[in-house]
Amino acid sequence: MEQTKVENKKEYSINVIISRPKNPSRRMAVLALLFIPRFIMLILHFVVLYFLAIISFLVTVFGQFAVLFTSRYPEGTFDIVRGVVRWQLRINMYMLGA
């Protein structure tokens, strides 16, 4: 998958690249058909991510006020939101069998 640049020539600090598997596993395909065991394994992740998403939302609201008053987005706020989004993406890709 090729990276595309935004029209205004700004690059984002987070790039998500999801590559297609070159040799898909038949074993994983059979396991993907059995979606229930995979979902059961991820229940704890979903519970933790639920609370982290709430915290991420609150931190983002705090970050917006910080931007309003200081004209800077706090680095810690960015790191928390980036970490939660990465974890969510990783878990979702695993759940979907990618």
Say how far apart CA 55 and CA 53 lie, in whole Å.
5
Whether the Cβ atoms of residue 94 and residue 42 lie closer than 8 Å to each other: yes
Q: Chunked in runs of 10, what are the mean pLDDT values of the chain (98 residues)?
A: 49 70 72 71 90 95 93 90 91 78
> Can you give the pLDDT at residue 97?
67
C-alpha distances in Å from residue 87, one per residue of 32, 33, 50: 20, 23, 11
Q: Alpha helix locations (H) across 1-98?
A: 26-33, 35-41, 43-70, 75-95
